[in-house]
Structure 1
C-alpha cells in the first residue's frame, strides 16, 4: 500500500527542503543538468537547498567527479545575487541559514558548503560497505536534524546516494528507527538513471538501486516520473527561441545557460513539483502540480509500485496539465532572469481566498445542492498590476466525479454550485490569478471543498 502523507509544515512561511542528486556533465556531453541548475538557482529564494550532490546517471556512468560544474553555477549565482536579492528587498544575510523563510536568498558560501560528491558507482551492486560518500553522510545528517519539514530528494541522475544512506541507516538503526528515517524523505525521480542508458532501453530495472528503494513503499514516498521530463525536454527544444531570447545572456547565470543537445531542462520537473506556488500539496501526487500528475501503480519495470505516470490515464492527464501550465512556468523563469540581469522585473500576484492567506490548500465545507461563494477579492499584485481571475475545477484530484459548475469563474468572486449528489465527496477548485505585467505571472490557491 502507498504511504499516506499530509502537509506537515507547521510554519508554512518556511521554504520546502530539497536535495539535488545530479549527474551534471560538460556541455559537450549533456547540458540539460546545467540548464536545470540555472533555473533552480534563480528560484533559490523558494527552496531551502540542503544539498547539491554530484553523482552518477546517464550523463556519468561512474568515476567522474563533477562538483566543479556545480561550483561554476554557484560562482555565477554569486555575481547575480545583488540583483536577485532585490526581488525580496533583501539587504542582509542570516547568521544561521537553517530554517530559511520563503523569499530568503542564501549566501553562495552556504550553497558551496552543501556541494559534495555522492556515489561514483552506478547500480545496486555497489550499495553497501565501502560505498559511503560525503553525499550519503550529509543526507543522514539532514534526516537527523530537528526539523519537521520533509526532505524532497530531487533525483536528476541516479538515486544511489540516497540508497546508500538508507542502507547505512538500515545497518545501524532499529526497524522503528529506520521507519522514522525513511519518513523524513520524499523522492521525485526523473526516470531511472541508476542503470545505464541504452537506445533500446533494454537494461534490466533490477540492477538499479531505485528498484530496491521502492521496496520501502510503506515508509518512503517515491514518485517515478516518465511524463513531465519528456515534455519539458521536447517543448523546450521546440520553443528554443524563447530560451535564447529570454533566458540566455540574462545576467551571469544566463551567460552560463547552455544550448540544448538532446532536450531542454529534463530534470526541472523534479523541483517544480515542490514549487511553493499555491497549486498543490507536494505530498499528494494526485493533486496535479507544475510537474504533472501521478497515480499509485506498477511502474515501467512491471514489478515495483510507486506513484507513476508512464502510460495510460496518468500519462494522458499529466501531458494535458503540463501543456496547460507550461506558459506560466516559462514566464516565471523568464521574469526571474530579468531580475538576474537588471535587478528589477515582474513579481507574482499574492492570492488570498476567503480572507485566508498562505499557500497550502484551503479546506472548506459546503452543503450539497447549495451555492458556495469563493472570494479572492483581497488578492493583490506587489507591483500594482491589474489582475485576471480564473476559477476552475480540477476533477482528477477530487472524489466527486460528476460535473461541478462555477458561475462568474472569471471574476474575483465566484460561485460554486454544489451538485445535489456530491455529499460525502470532495471537489478541488483552483483559483488562478494572473497579472498584467511583463511577462505576465500566475499564482494559485487550491480550495478543497468537503461536501456535506
Structure 2
C-alpha cells in the first residue's frame, strides 16, 4: 500500500511543482535549503559552497544553515564565517557572473526567482543562519529549536507549489527538529502536508560520528517514523564517486577552478576528498535531464531506488548496495565530464566576464525542461525533432539519443534510428503497452569547454 500511495502522491507533487512558469512565462528555479557542516578540517563543504555560488542563477537558495556533522558534534561561530567567505567571494565576482544572463539589477523582492537570475549578496546573507547546536537524536525536542529549524517551517508554509528541497551536506538534526515541532503543534493532516513539501537529499548519514550506530541519528528517526510521507534520498554512491574522482583529477581543479576569480581564490585544496556534498544539488540541476522527485530516473546526482537501507530497519531511496550502486556509478562516470565542464565554464565567467554557455534544447518545438511525455503509439515509429535546438553563443551542436533502461519498466530493446542527428526516430515496441521507457536527448556544443544540455522523453505506450 505504501508504495502505491507514495508514488501516486509524488507524481502529483511533481506535476504541480516541477519547472513551473512565472507570470512572464519564464521558468522558476528549484527551491533549495542547504544544511552544511562546513569546517576548516573538512574542506569539501567549502568547495561545494563555491560550486553552488557559481550556479546561483539556477537555484533559489532559500537558506544556508550551518549545522553539525560527522566530525563536528557542536556548531562553532568561527566556522559560520566560511559560509560568509563564499558569499563575499560571490559578491566580488557577481558583476562578471551577471554578464552570463545580461542581468542589470536585482529584484526588489527576491522570491520566486526565475532561471538566469543571480541573487544579491545581501539576500544570501539574510538567509544564512545557525541550525541545531548539538548533533544527534538525543537532543531532538524541547529546547533544540533554532533559527534554521524555525525558518524551514516558514519556508514550507509559503504559498508556493514548488517542492522545498532540503539538501543535507552534514547532519540533518535541524530538519528533524522542524518536523518534530510541526508534529507537536499541528494536526496529522497538517504534518503530512508539511512532509510532502520537503523532499530531502542526504549525503550519507552524518547526524552521528562516522563509526557509531545509525539509531542515534535523527536521520534514522526521520526514515523510520515518516517513510510513507517524506521523500528521503540517502546517498552512498554519488558523494563517494565525486570525492574520489575529484581527488584523482585534482590537477583539473587547480587549472580550471582555483584562481578563477574571487570564488576560485577561496576554493580550498581537498583534505580527504573533493566536493563530496555537491551531488545533493546536482540532483536538482534544471538541465532537462530528470525530474528530481523520481530518484530512479538518473540525474547528475546519481541513481537510487526505494529499499531497506543499510541500517536494516528503515526504508528510503538509497544506493548503498548493488545493483543500485553499480547503476549509479555507471551514469556518474558518464556524466562527470559534463558536470565538470559546466563548473569550469562558469568559473571562466567569474574570472573574465565571458565564457561558454549551455545549448537550449527543443523537442518537437517544445523548449521546456520538464520530461516530454508521449502516450500511446505502441508499434509505431515516432519522430523526435531536436533540430531547432540552439546555442546562445552560436556554437555548433552535436546530438546523441539514448535510452536509460533502469528508469523505465519496459525491459526489451528500443531501436533509435539516426541516434546521432538532430532528428531521430524511435521504434515503439508493440509489446510495451502498459509500460514505459525513457529516451534522453543529449545536446553538446563545440565551445570551450564543450557544454551539454538534455531533454528526457518518456514513452507511455
Shift of the alpha carbon at 1:420? 2.3
1:151 to 161, 164, 187: 164
CA contact (8 A) 1:33 1:156 kept: yes
* Corresponding position of 2:184: 171
Question: Superposition pairs for residues 81-120 of structure 1, below 5 Å?
Answer: 81-120=94-133
* Corresponding position of 1:32: 44
Q: Secondary structure at the match of 1:128?
A: coil
CA contact (8 A) 1:53 1:67 kept: no
Question: Superposition pairs for residues 25-424 of structure 1, below 5 Å?
Answer: 25-26=39-40, 29-65=41-77, 66-198=79-211, 203-214=212-223, 215-424=225-434
Partner Cα distance (1:15, 1:101) in 2: 5
Partner Cα distance (2:295, 2:254) in 1: 32
* Corresponding position of 1:17: 31
CA contact (8 A) 1:124 1:160 kept: yes
CA contact (8 A) 2:295 2:303 kept: yes
Partner Cα distance (1:30, 1:393) in 2: 38
Partner Cα distance (2:66, 2:231) in 1: 22
CA contact (8 A) 2:441 2:456 kept: yes
Structure 1, residues 258-277: CA drift from partner, whole Å, max 9, x if none?
Answer: 01010000000000000000
Partner Cα distance (1:36, 1:74) in 2: 12
Structure 1, residues 365-418: CA drift from partner, whole Å, max 9, x if none?
Answer: 242222111110110000000000000011111111000010100000001112
Partner Cα distance (2:109, 2:219) in 1: 34
Q: Secondary structure at the match of 1:49?
A: strand
Partner Cα distance (1:151, 1:136) in 2: 14
Partner Cα distance (1:340, 1:362) in 2: 33
Partner Cα distance (2:188, 2:432) in 1: 42
Partner Cα distance (2:93, 2:370) in 1: 30
Partner Cα distance (1:145, 1:284) in 2: 23
Partner Cα distance (1:416, 1:213) in 2: 42
Structure 2 unaligned segments of length 5 or more: list them. Answer: none
Q: Secondary structure at the match of 1:106?
A: coil
Q: Secondary structure at the match of 1:188?
A: strand
Q: Secondary structure at the match of 2:399?
A: strand
Partner Cα distance (1:329, 1:107) in 2: 25
Q: Secondary structure at the match of 1:78?
A: helix
Structure 1 unaligned segments of length 5 or more: list them. Answer: none
RMSD: 0.9
Partner Cα distance (1:372, 1:365) in 2: 11
